[in-house]
A and B are shown apart, each in its own frame.
Chain A
Amino acid sequence: MRYALLVCADEHEELTEEEAGRRYAEFMAFSDEMQARGVLVGRERLRPTELSTVVRVRDEGLVVADGPFAETKEQIAGFYVVDCEDLDEAIEIAARSPGARYGTIEVRPVWET
């Protein structure tokens, strides 16, 4: 069964270059580990929400605006899609991710088609 692991974190956290480099390495190691284990379906790291654009089509037509969905402190910084046995395994994988230490991970089942 597939789950999305949405990594939510404070995107304005100031990091030293050294700290940022260390975390990057941790995230890469985690991805490699999941790849080797055969559970990783996909992953993306998202750029800051300053670069986000929201798009809506309503009766009055297309509305394009700046911004993320909601101005909250924590934003989705990236996501993984993993294919695993059950929720306990997804939780176990999420707990190994550096994202769980630096932010919060939301584990959401994916619609199976």
Chain B
Amino acid sequence: MGDVAGAQAAVAEAFRSEWGRVVGYLIRVTGNWDLAEDCAQDAFERALERWPRDGIPDSPAAWLKTTARNRALDRLRRSKVGQTKLEELAMSTLRSQGDDEDPSGIGDDRLRLMFTCCHPALPVEAQVALTLRTLAGLTTPEIARAFLVPPETMAKRLTRAKRKITEARIPYRVPPAHQLPDRLRAVLAVIYALFNEGYGASAGADLIRRDLCAEAIRLGRLLARLMPDEPEALGLLSLMMLHDARRAARVDAAGELVTLEDQDRSLWDTDVIGQASRVLDAAVRLRRPGPYQLQAAIAACHARAPAAADTDWREIAVLYDRLWQLAPTPVIALNRAVAVAMAFGPESGLALVDELQQSGALSDYYLLSATRADLLRRLRRDEEAQAAYRQALELAPTEAEHRYLERRLAEVSTGR
């Protein structure tokens, strides 16, 4: 009985919009992050059972919160240490909607939860990972991929962070406005990771999870409005908008990935590019450069070029040098190598890529092999290029990327 597909869609929709709120609510009332996550999970599972049979509740959010809270009550009742928490939980039922006080002035619920989650007593990477897990509902393997670490490493990092929360008693409390800048770096990283997860969805057939990108940009906009004097907040917003402006050209009609070089630039959204450039100008005027502003400046260089051949690669190589000085990460090193290859020839780029490969960093990162393959192909070292494409194929996460690499491999194998 009832519309099963409709009910399932409603659960999926509720997961997107309510997951973070349900978990945040449970953390606040139980003080236990694991319990909160488990009970939220249970509530969504129960919704999948019940909603197709009983119909979608009038307020899915309230239904989920109540179900999750009752589940938490059950579990605490059965555990020995639960007694005092149990009382608090019972109290919170009475307080109902009374927990609306907001010393942060953030206004938006999801952004406020992110700032709440990013406690500076945790390492920044753990803040980001925990927030992605707890509020955005990303899986541990998805987060691991975003950080380029094995899933086991990420699982350990999350466990350690939760342990510190419990044992050092780090409260889950909305921070007052003056503490927000302290947490900004982590919140920016959370938003950018969400965007990237949506833009190059790390698993499955769907290359672009549109809703994640849209949500990340919405949050970026809110943040830029909330903190107009933080150039990196503006830089991140500009960067995401510039990527998003190219979305329509990034995948062709058949769902195949199209590289920047081959994209149909008439599909780029010039309005969005214009807006993003103005946001970046405002950031630059504050005269405090940072990694997001530099990445946005690089993206803007691409966006300005009417055709791929017009790209100012020397300017991009310079920007990557500056970025590398501020943030010497392996991924930036790889992108810098690509820029150098384009500005000064594949030979010089390949030297940097080989250096990076010898350092052992990024050994599981498909773009390292894919970039190497591409440079070898340009240098007409076809056999080495084939081997590198094969290696990249083994590591590439999404199907669209697989098909792209297969095409390139076929090209170098047939001698073109």
Contact = CB atoms under 8 A, between A and B. Distances in A.
A40 B168 CA distance: 18
A31 B121 CA distance: 24
B277 to A, nearest CB: 41
Interface in A64-113: 85-88, 91, 109
Q: Tell me which of A1, A85, A87, A91 has the highest count of chain B C-beta atoms within 10 A of its own C-beta.
A: A87
B167 interface: yes
B171 interface: yes
Interface string B166-204: 011111010000000000000000000000000000000
Nearest to A111: B167
Interface string B52-74: 00000000000000000000000
Interface residues of B, number: 7
Contacts of A85: 171
A86 B171 contact: yes
Contacts of A1: 169
Contacts of B167: 109
A88 B168 contact: no
Contacts of B169: 1, 86-87, 109
Nearest to A87: B170
A88 B116 CA distance: 12
A56 to B, nearest CB: 29
Interface in B215-229: none
B56 to A, nearest CB: 39
Interface residues of A, number: 7
A87 B121 CA distance: 9
Nearest to A89: B171
Nearest to B175: A88
Nearest to B167: A109
Q: Tell me which of B121, B169, B170 has the highest count of chain A C-beta atoms within 10 A of its own C-beta.
A: B169
B85 to A, nearest CB: 14
A109 B170 CA distance: 11
B211 to A, nearest CB: 34
A49 to B, nearest CB: 27
Contacts of A87: 121, 168-171
Interface string A16-54: 000000000000000000000000000000000000000
Nearest to A84: B169
Nearest to B120: A91
B173 A109 contact: no
Contacts of B121: 87, 91
Contacts of A91: 121
Contacts of B170: 86-88
A112 to B, nearest CB: 10
Q: Tell me which of A85, A86, A109 has the highest count of chain B C-beta atoms within 10 A of its own C-beta.
A: A86
A1 B173 CA distance: 17
Interface in B377-402: none
Nearest to B165: A87
Contacts of A86: 169-171
Contacts of B171: 85-88
B175 to A, nearest CB: 9
A17 to B, nearest CB: 36
Contacts of B173: 88
A88 B167 CA distance: 13
Interface string B230-243: 00000000000000
Nearest to B169: A86
A91 B173 CA distance: 14
Nearest to B179: A88
- Closest A-B pairs by Cβ, 5 of them: A86-B171, A86-B169, A87-B170, A109-B168, A1-B169
14 contacts: A1-B169, A85-B171, A86-B169, A86-B171, A87-B121, A87-B168, A87-B169, A87-B170, A87-B171, A88-B170, A88-B173, A91-B121, A109-B168, A109-B169
Given A87-B121, A88-B170, 15 more contacts: A1-B169, A85-B171, A86-B169, A86-B170, A86-B171, A87-B168, A87-B169, A87-B170, A87-B171, A88-B171, A88-B173, A91-B121, A109-B167, A109-B168, A109-B169
